Amino acid sequence: MIADLSGRVALVTGAGRGIGRGISLALAEQGADVAAADLIAENAADVAAEVERLGRRAAPFQVDVTDRQSIDAAVSDALERLGRIDILVNNAGIIGAGGIWERGAPSDEDWQQTFEVNVRGMVMASESVQGHMIERGSGRIINIASIAGRQGSPEIPHYSTSKAAAISWTQSSALQLAAHRITVNAICPGLLWTPMWEAIARRRSTFGSSQSEVRGLPGRELFERIVHDTMPMRREQTPEDIGKLAAFLASDDAKNITGQAINVDGGIRMN
């Protein structure tokens, strides 16, 4: 067992697919009950059903993290249905507004919506649960950032900037909550074949990128080429990889780790 989360309750935003699903299942495998929150109700329900098949309690919630009332309602319902919230994983994220891959450069709407979800959504969800955690004198908040937040991006500068903000806010929040024995950490995933990366690969395959030699390759083949060329370990990451680190950070074994942003990227970024 990575970490014993028996008796703990986790609220995971963006839980319905990809990294969020991987985190939800990893936490459940270590003994946690899961409140699965997602913008798409059906996806949240599917993950909650998977958690229950692992023998844990689960509750699905349709949540828009850009709407404070939606977040507060989900937190209140989760507390009523599951009794407590020990762990918050801020995973909900987007790479831009609808139609971003049809534009040559990010629009004002891309910038605004990305920051509303990736930054403000994370902040509002944390603010919604931290009162409960402060009252109990403990808690774990885990923010899903990205290695894109470690350096700029000519292709998706709005996204990389939002993830840099997520890392910075993680540190600020860790300082604010440390006296209450609440830890706040970030995970920076590398390259995962998720719906988001599938869209990136499709765009690069169609329009090219700074790596002009990959233009024209099928999306998955292009992704594998990028993994091979940029990742020292030459092995893509999986949602389960991210989930296992989240489970550790959520456990008592990580009680003295806070304010950190930890890369899970096969060695692309080392610090």
Q: Give dist(CA 241, CA 130) in Å, integer.
A: 26
Residue 229: count other Cβ atoms within 10 Å of its Cβ: 11
CA 213-217-222 angle, 5° bins: 80
Confirm if 69 and 125 have CB atoms less than 8 A apart: no
Strands 182-189 and 261-264: parallel
159 is catalytic: yes
Closest listed residue to residue 241, CA positions, set 22, 5, 50: 22
Q: Quickly list DSSP for 137-189.
A: T-EEEEEE--GGGGS--SS-HHHHHHHHHHHHHHHHHHHHHGGGTEEEEEEEE
User: Which residues 6+ apart lie within 8 Å of 164 measured at CB?
Assistant: 149, 150
Q: Which residue among the candidates 159, 197, 223, 248 is catalytic per the annotation?
A: 159
Dist. CA 206–CA 260, nearest whole Å: 37
What are the backbone dihedrals phi and psi of residue 168, each rounded to the nearest 5 degrees, phi first? -65, -45
The rounded Cα 257 to chain-centroid distance in angstroms is: 18
Q: Show which residues are catalytic.
A: 159
